[in-house]
Structure 1
Amino acid sequence: MKAQHFVVVLLLVSNITLSSGFLDMFVAAASVVYTYFERDDLLPFDSKRLEADLRENFFGQHIASNVIQRAVSSFMTDSNPNKPLVLSFHGTSGTGKNHASKIIARNVYEKGENSKHVHLFISEHHFPHTKNLRLHSAHLKQQIHESVSRFPRSMFIFDEMEKMQPQLIDAIKPFLDYNARVDGVSFRKAIFIFLSNADGNVITGVTLDFWRKGIHREKIWMDSNELEIKISENIFNDKKGGFLRSSIIDEHLIDHCIPFLPLEMKHVRQCVLVQMAHLNITQDFDLADQVARDMPYFPKEERVFAVKGCKSVRQKLSLYID
């Protein structure tokens, strides 16, 4: 029911008679209150919908799909979580980290990534000058605090975490802790997602080791060759990354460090078919094969894993169509 209709019905039921001018003012005030409490963009969470979305639109990342589905479902169905959900995605460019965050967003909010409750921060774009770190930190803390005070189920995505200054990472830290309450606002229902390319070489190395041993890529799991431990150690010891000097890692505030494996040609082909659908092109499997084959792969001779993942697939496809 619209706020205006609600107020008019209320007045009629209460037999209250007001002048037109006062009624307009009353309706305007009621609209503000109604909008404040209205949860118009939060979807009723459906674990099966998220599972299907990941299965149909997220290719070649069986580890990430499994962890995301279970972690997000458990968090969203918990009426009283003891901390925010904190996910950290790791892998080389083009393996689907941004895409996965968009899938989560569209299963939480009606408008998905375009929701006013989804906040994206790109390190070099939003925090470009190290000399302004104090100002950046203050603004970041204010924005997170105000967003969650208005809407507890807010989502924050931080891209290029490997380039983020440790002072900025520590500015986020108070909001991630157990039973976090900052200046009277609880952050336990918020979602924080970190995206990083920093551990791509570690993840690629493990994947290549399995391939050289003749072990199928889908046999890799979080405990394979101590993959999760290697990722955590690499984050902590990376002298170029802000995590090294941040307290987020050693205080164990990240719930899941999720590896994104290098993609194979069959996965790139799936991405090409999706782009055909987005461009309203009739699906052409032979063309999809050709576009996928023409992307760069490594090792150079065997051409097993895509150098750029699914990044620039649309641009490559455009070369083959009118």
Structure 2
Amino acid sequence: MSDLESSSSMSASQTDGEMDEDTNEETNGETNGETNGENKEEENHRESPAPSLSSFSSSLRAVIRIKHKYMAMKKRKQELALGFGGSLTGAPTRTSPTIFTFDGLTPSGLHPLSSTQTPQKKKKRRRRRVMFPNSGGRRAPPKPAPSRAKYGLYLLCAILFIQIYNAIENLDDHVLRYDLEGLEKSLRREVFGQQGAVEGLMANLKDYLSTYVHNKPLVVSIHGPSGVGKSHLGRLLAGHFRSVVGDTLVLQYYVLHHCPQEANAVNCAKNLSAIISEMVERAEEEEKIPLFIFDEAEHMHREILDALLQLATSKKQSNEYLNAIYLFLSNLGHAQITKHMLHNSSSISSSAGRHNNLVKELTPILRNTLEKLHRLWTRAELLPLGLLEKSHVMDCFLDEMTREGFYPDHTNIERLAGEIEYYPEEGGHQYSQTGCKQVVAKVNLL
């Protein structure tokens, strides 16, 4: 009996130990199944001998306790399976609300029992690639905002261009008013043997007449021996300026005609100053430049020269006195010009070369000589006229005979030119002593 009790107590203790292990396994992971529980129950029944009443009651209590725990474990597994949406075979239908837990989830986020569901990858939103230009692989710099000052700069440049263009057009109009091209053609055609002097005179006129505002008047003094074309040149200039600016703005002053007596020099100077003042005031109103020609300037009295110097150089005068042209024609310095050309005729090959040589070598000599006579010549541009050759005299005869209506016979012209007196021939050049001064008289005798 004692053995029976001991065996039953051992079986009870063993059963209790196994139940404790089952409880521990249930709490750790609940991984034991239904079959394990049944096997344990069968083993307990086999190992137990014929039980007594007390052992039977303890065994019954153990079996009942095991059964209750088994039923609790089974029910808990069913609740877990229903919680994940699955169903077990023969399991009762669950009516309790579904509780969501993260237990038993796979890494992919799907329940292991949901075999019908297919894994779907979340599509990543592809970003568009930013394309850059191929030049250097650099991003283009941002464009600066347009500035309004740029349009103001464009407007200023346009205004400046228009003003400059108008100024140039005004200068061209001012030069075209005096028709200097036509004047140059007339002088080259009708003044013989003085092409270099004509070029120097036209250069001075073009520089001065290119604008209307000046800081001093233009003073030109033409010198040369008798008969070389000084008076003829003055008449051509006077006729041309009368046609472009009017008769009232051109003055031809002959000293031997307007003031022949030296006793009247003071009154002549006053009258001349009044005439010039009236003309420059009229020219200022008409915006034109007057021309004053003084022929035979070697006979001008000192009082007249002083009055002209004051008008031409005084800074106290108003602006209209600065816009004027003074032209002096005289034979002062003719001895130096004649001597120079006779001694250097062998080295002179053309009229242009003759004039360049005259200007270069004779201008200092003439200026020293003229400064001793009066200070007016220090303010003037000096232009020397050279001697005329026999060919130039023949041209004078041809021109005069054509004007008078005679037939231009070359034999007759050569005969008339042979009657003129000449200097001894030097270096292949034969210069006339009187120039073309006797041409008019000889043509009138025909």
Sort the TM-score into its range (normalised by shorter chain). 0.7 to 0.9
**If you compute each CA radius of gyration, which structure gives the higher value, 1 or 2?**
2
Structure-to-structure mapping, 1:1-322, within 5 angstroms? 44-110=177-243, 115-152=247-284, 153-177=289-313, 182=317, 184=318, 186-211=320-345, 213-216=346-349, 218=351, 219-224=353-358, 226-237=361-372, 244=373, 246-249=374-377, 252-254=378-380, 256-299=381-424, 304-319=430-445, 321=446
Deviation at 1:280, TM superposition (A): 1.9
Change (3 A) 1:203 1:220: same
The equivalent of 1:27 in structure 2 is none
CA distance in structure 1 between the partners assigned to 2:266 and 2:189 by the alignment: 43
Aligned residue type for 1:259: P
Closer, same or farther: CA 142–289 of 1 in aligned 2, 3 Å = same
Matched AA of 2:443: L
Greater fraction helix: 2
- Secondary structure of the equivalent of 1:140? helix
Q: Which runs of 5 or more residues in structure 2 are unaligned?
A: 1-174
1:187 maps to amino acid:
Y
The alpha-carbon distance between structure 1 residues 125 and 43, as it changes in their structure 2 partners (threshold 3 A), is farther
Aligned partners of 1:43 and 1:107 also within 8 Å: no
Q: Deviations over 1:45-90 (max 9, x none)?
A: 2232122112211110122111111111222222222222211010
Asked whether the equivalents of residues 63 and 259 of structure 1 are also in contact (C-alpha less than 8 Å), the reply is no
- Partner deviation per Cα, 1:222-254 (whole Å, 9 max, x = no partner): 4556211111112123xxxxxx2x3323xx421
CA gap 1:274/1:43 in 2 versus in 1, 3 angstroms: farther
After superposition, what is the alpha-carbon deviation per residue over 1:73-125, rounded to whole angstroms, capped at 9, x for unaligned? 2222222222222110101111111111222223323189x933321222232
Q: Is the 8 A contact 2:401 2:407 kept in 1?
A: yes
Local SS of the residue matching 1:151: helix
Supply the AA of the counterpart residue of 1:228.
T
Distance in 2 between the 1:189 and 1:286 partners?
50
> Contact conserved, 1:123 with 1:163, CA < 8 A, in 2?
yes
Q: Distance in 2 between matches of 1:292 and 1:208?
A: 20
1-side partners of 2:441 and 2:241: how far apart? Answer: 30
Name the aligned partner's letter for residue 267 of structure 1: H
The count of corresponding residues between Structure 1 and Structure 2 is 265
User: Which secondary structure does the structure 2 equivalent of 1:157 belong to?
Assistant: strand
Structure 1 100/58 Cα, relative in aligned 2: closer, same or farther at 3 Å?
Answer: same
> In the aligned structure 1, how far is the partner of 2:262 from the partner of 2:401?
42
> Which SS does the other structure have where 1:110 is aligned?
helix
Q: Secondary structure at the match of 2:379?
A: coil
User: What one-letter code is carried by the residue in structure 1 that aligns with 2:376?
Assistant: I
Q: CA deviation at 1:210?
A: 1.2
Q: Could you say what the CA RMSD is over the residues aligned between the two structures, in angstroms? A: 2.6
Structure 1: gaps (5+ residues): 1-41, 238-243
Amino acid at match of 2:269: S
For normalisation by structure 1, the TM-score amounts to 0.74
TM-score by length of structure 2 reads: 0.55
SS at match of 1:88: strand
Whether the aligned pair in 2 keeps the contact of 1:95 and 1:310 (CA below 8 Å) is yes
Query: Could you say which structure has the greater relative contact order, defined with CA pairs below 8 angstroms and 6 or more residues apart?
Result: 1
Could you list the per-position Cα deviations for residues 270-289 of structure 1 after superposition, in whole angstroms to 9, with x for gaps in the alignment?
11111112112232222222
Q: Is the 8 A contact 2:397 2:443 kept in 1?
A: yes
- Contact 1:117/1:151 (8 A) holds in 2: yes
Contact kept in structure 1, 2:238 and 2:252, CA below 8 Å: no
Task: Give SS of 2:177's match.
Answer: coil
Task: Provide the rounded CA distance (Å) in 2 between the counterparts of 1:176 and 1:222.
Answer: 28
Tell me: CA distance 1:285–1:115, structure 2 relative to 1, closer, same or farther (3 Å): farther
Counterpart contact for 2:248–2:279, Cα < 8 Å: no
Per the alignment, do residues 181 and 147 of structure 1 end up closer, same or farther by CA in structure 2, a change over 3 Å counting? farther
- Contact kept in structure 2, 1:269 and 1:292, CA below 8 Å: yes
The one-letter amino acid of 2:321's match is F
Q: Against the structure 1 CA distance between its residues 247 and 314, is the aligned structure 2 distance closer, same or farther, given a 3 Å change threshold?
A: closer
